[in-house]
Amino acid sequence: MGMATGRHENNFDALRLAAATIIVVAHAYSLSVGYASIPAGDPVILVGCAALGALFVTSGYLITASWETTATAGQFVWKRFLRVVPALVPLIFVTLFVIGPVMTSLPLSGYFASLFSLQGILSVPFFENGAMLGLFQENPVSFVNSSLWTIPVEVFMYGIVAVCGVTGLLRRRGVVPGLILLNLLVWIPWYADPRLGKVRFTLYFLIGAYLYLHRNRIVYDARVAGLLLAVLALSTLTPYVTAAGVLCIPYLTLYAAHAPIPLLSGVGRAGDFSYGMYIYHYPLQQAVIQATQDALAVPVLAALSLAMTFPLAFLSWHLVERRALALKKTSAGEVVRAYRVRAEALLYPGGGIRR
């Protein structure tokens, strides 16, 4: 199967949206039941982890492509900043200044005192322990937005791509496979640890990068994809399903991304809502669970989560993300100067700068 190169000639947008939707559903289940009550090998969690792995594969593939099509390291960093950071700002505001004050069990004075304490400031935007803000203490899980753990991991991997690119190592034979091997050696001792074992997701990113670098020599074949899908399905009967996921999911993800399916390739024309879906859903789910005292059935919670999250993702794309990405070809200095001029015009409408 040949590879489609144009954004609306492949299925990456549809794939990311589907993965984000699966993660929303998986979190509806895990936050309602509680992480401690979920057995190893739970099928819902396995599917959710597969979806997250697919997101890391697409990220490794597309970020490496972005490096190769960007003129300078500075422009690469600026593009990555524009993709990640602007959408986080309104998310943090909504979480801490809308959801937080409404849902906290603390007096508002106590809530804001905790929020603006040193510990509170250092916890932004993750707040793994919502109890310090009086949030979600009676929920099965007390995290405020645990989905965001992937953001620093992603940024770290962007740094790896940039360093390897600047030094010329990205194209050196054996460098990316060497990084994959090193990552494997780190993961093996933590294989059975549900928290530290998350290091495997950087493997997905690196494999995605490798598959991009060798894209002209890799054929995406339905027979290979079918075989890998069978291996992945059979692995769920063994203790090695996460290892099988790292082996199978990258190829399956990119096979699906390049499959000639016109209906899927046009999904992104309306906008790329996957990032907004991913970053907004968790605190909304936690708020619903607290408000209903965890009384909703998981399918109802999942449907309500999607209904609440998608409008925010839509607004995030059209009001923030799309506008930020439009600045990709404008330098950071030019953006700062433009906003400074605009601010001065608002502050001093008479036309002069007051000294």
Dump pLDDT digits (tens) for 187-212: 988 887 877 788 999 999 999 999 99
Dump pLDDT digits (tens) for 287-334: 999 999 999 999 999 999 999 999 999 999 999 999 999 998 887 677
Q: What confidence score (pLDDT) does residue 40 get?
A: 82
Following CA atoms 83, 88, 89, 91 in sequence, which dihedral angle do they give, to the nearest 10 degrees? Answer: 140
The sign of the torsion formed by the CA atoms of 308, 116, 317, 53 equals: negative
User: For the packed helices 43-68 and 150-166, what is the interaxial angle rounded to 10 degrees?
Assistant: 30
Rounded distance between C-alpha atoms, residue 91 and residue 280, angstroms: 7
What is the arithmetic mean of pLDDT over 270-279?
95
Least confident window among 6-15, 68-77, 232-241: 6-15
Dump pLDDT digits (tens) for 330-350: 876 776 676 666 666 666 676
Q: What confidence score (pLDDT) does residue 119 get?
A: 83
Q: Which helix (H) or strand (E) holds 203?
A: helix 200-213
Alpha helices in 167-199 (DSSP H): 175-187
Rounded distance between C-alpha atoms, residue 252 and residue 52, angstroms: 13
Dump pLDDT digits (tens) for 49-58: 999 999 999 9
- Whole-angstrom distance between the N-terminal and C-terminal Cα of the chain? 65
Residue 355 clears pLDDT 60, i.e. is over it: no
Residue 351 clears pLDDT 80, i.e. is over it: no
Are the beta carbons of 84 and 155 closer than 8 angstroms? Answer: yes
Q: What confidence score (pLDDT) does residue 269 get?
A: 86
Residue 27 clears pLDDT 70, i.e. is over it: yes
Dump pLDDT digits (tens) for 121-155: 877 766 667 888 899 999 999 999 999 999 999 99
Q: What confidence score (pLDDT) does residue 270 get?
A: 87
Query: Which tokens is 143 given?
Result: 């995290």
Rounded distance between C-alpha atoms, residue 153 and residue 340, angstroms: 32
Are the beta carbons of 140 and 289 closer than 8 angstroms? Answer: yes
Determine the 3-state secondary structure of 294 from DSSP.
Answer: coil
Listing DSSP states for 208-234 in one string gives HHHHHHTGGG----HHHHHHHHHHHHH
Are the beta carbons of 88 and 151 closer than 8 angstroms? Answer: yes
Rounded distance between C-alpha atoms, residue 155 and residue 77, angstroms: 10
Rounded distance between C-alpha atoms, residue 339 and residue 355, angstroms: 19
- Helix%, strand%, coil% for the chain, nearest 5: 75, 0, 25
Q: What confidence score (pLDDT) does residue 164 get?
A: 96
Q: What confidence score (pLDDT) does residue 29 get?
A: 97
Rg (CA), the chain: 22
**What size, in residues, is the chain?**
355
- What count of other Cβ atoms lies within 10 Å of the Cβ of residue 307? 10
Listing DSSP states for 103-123 in one string gives H-SS-HHHHHHHHTSHHHHHH
Q: Domain boundaries in the chain?
A: 7-329
Dump pLDDT digits (tens) for 215-260: 999 999 999 999 999 999 999 999 999 999 999 999 999 999 999 8
Residue 70 clears pLDDT 70, i.e. is over it: yes
Rounded distance between C-alpha atoms, residue 186 and residue 207, angstroms: 16
pTM: 0.91
